[in-house]
Every structure is written in structure tokens, then in C-alpha cells.
Amino acid sequence: MKLHDLRPAAGSRRERTRVGRGIAAGKGKTAGRGTKGQKSRAGASIPAWFEGGQTPIHIRVPKLRGFKNRFKIQYQVVNVGTIDEYATAGRFGVEGGKSDVPTINAEVLESAGLITSAQRPVKVLGHGDVSQKLFIAADKFSDSAKSKVEAAGGFVQVLAPEKEETAQAKAGRADMADEATEAGDPQPDVDASEAPESEGSATSAIAVEPEAEADAEEPAGDEPAAKAKPARKRASKTTSEEE
């Protein structure tokens, strides 16, 4: 093979398409750009983010700072002044008075129309005055609301979050399951010495004769210790096998 015989591999080289060289070549006249239009003009360069003239996506999206907390708790707000007015008017089912202490919770507030749902958390704020004793149970209290209710001789109770209640319920169910297990039929305690033994078990009983024990513990002075009698003797077969 000579140097002038070298050729590139078939299909590895392809000639450049020459456009605009007459209609006979197949790429003449419009040179593959089509008839008219923005892309047929010289110097046409459309950026990738161009959307035909409409407002592009990078302009449409909001650019406000911060973020929206998906886990924010939306409280239903009730003021102590409103609660006191409703209690005085007897709209909680109990006539207000100096001797009565109405109990107010989410269900009572929902029935009176002060909140929309008893399933959502409630927060009591301190706007208004409290003129009687009130017992209010809610998910959250402001400091002013708590001080006004307690100053009037009332009481406030902060309800535990749902997560803690769920954990307590799970713990209660676990305790009930443990008690049920303990209350079942207890298994009898079997002493290891009283348990039946198989013939080939590794823990088979080994009978020790009293005389052999005495001989093993106190060997005779005349005879050497090496000639002492064996201290243990294997037990005979069980009674069932002998019969």
C-alpha cells in the first residue's frame, strides 16, 4: 500500500452542502430557508427564551421575597370581650351571673356562631373587658387575654396539640395491649431439674453416688490420687425404655 492509496472509511466524510448555487443543485433560490419570514432573513437570531412576543416565563413568574409556610397554623380568633358579652346574654346556654361559671370551648363557640368550625384551632385575644368568672378552653391564649380572665376570677386551659394527643393515644393503646397480654393464661413455670430429658440430650442427668463423692473428695493416704475411683457415673436409661 502506498501513501496515495489511503482513503478515509466509507461514510466517515461527507461533503458540505453548497446552497444558493442555482435550482439545479436542489438548494438554490431560497437555499432551504423557505419563502419569506423572520428566519429567512439575513442575521436572524431568535433566543431560546423568545415566545413569539407574549410575556416570557421569566417575566410572568412572581419574584416576591420569602416563602409561604405550608405548616403555618391558622387560628380562629375570638376576643375575651365578645365572650363576656355572649356569656352575659346567655348565648352559651348558661345564664351569666356572679355565681355561675360558664364553660366555654370550641363546640360552645361554634354553636354560638363565634367560630366557623370546632375542628380548627382557636386562639383567644385580649380585646375587651371581662366582668365575670369564665372557664375558657382553647388552643392558644394571648398574655392579655389570660391575665384578664384570671383577674376576673376565671380559669384558662390550653389544649394540647394534636400531635401530642396522638402520641398519648398510641402510648395508651400500647399499655392496653401489654395489660391484655399479661392478663392472658400464664405459662406454667417448669423447673429445669423436673423437666423430662431425652436420651441423647446434652443436658442429661448424671447420677452421683454418695460413696463415690466421698472417695473423690477424700482420697486415701496410702493410694495415690491418680488411682481414685471415678466420681461420677452416667445414669441408666429412663423407666419407659427399661420396660
Could you tell me which residues are beta bridge partners of residue 103? 135
Q: Can you tell me the distance from the alpha carbon of 155 to that of 135, in angstroms, rounded to the nearest whole number?
A: 5
Averaged confidence pLDDT in the chain: 79
Distances (CA, A) of 221 to 10, 25, 37, 225: 109, 129, 127, 8
Q: Which amino acid is at 176?
A: M
- The model's pLDDT over 90-135, given as tens digits with 9 standing for 90+, comes to 888 766 555 568 899 999 999 999 999 999 999 999 999 999 999 9
Given this model, what pLDDT does residue 142 score?
96
Given this model, what pLDDT does residue 1 score?
87
DSSP 132: S
Closest CA to 145 of 121, 123, 114, 124: 124
Q: Can you tell me the distance from the alpha carbon of 136 to that of 49, in angstroms, rounded to the nearest whole number?
A: 59
DSSP 170: H
Average pLDDT of the residues in 40-68: 90
Q: Can you tell me the distance from the alpha carbon of 131 to that of 151, in angstroms, rounded to the nearest whole number?
A: 10
Cα–Cα–Cα angle for 155, 158, 159, rounded to 5 degrees? 130
What percentage of the chain's residues is helix, strand, coil (to nearest 5)? Answer: 30, 10, 60
The domain ranges of the chain are 76-162, 206-235
Average pLDDT of the residues in 35-57: 92
The cell for 18 is: 453548497
pTM, 2 dp: 0.44
Give me the torsion for CA of 51, 53, 57, 60, rounded to 10°.
-160
CB-CB contact of 166 with 147 (8 Å)? no
How many helices and strands in the chain, by DSSP H and E? 7, 8
CB-CB contact of 21 with 28 (8 Å)? yes
User: 41: how many CB neighbours lie within 10 A of its CB?
Assistant: 9
Give me the torsion for CA of 17, 23, 29, 34, rounded to 10°.
-70
Q: Give the chain's radius of gyration (CA, Å).
A: 48
For domain 76-162, give the fold: Ribosomal Protein L15; Chain: K; domain 2 (3.100.10)
Q: What are φ and ψ of residue 165, in 5° steps?
A: -65, -40
- The model's pLDDT over 162-174, given as tens digits with 9 standing for 90+, comes to 654 556 666 777 7
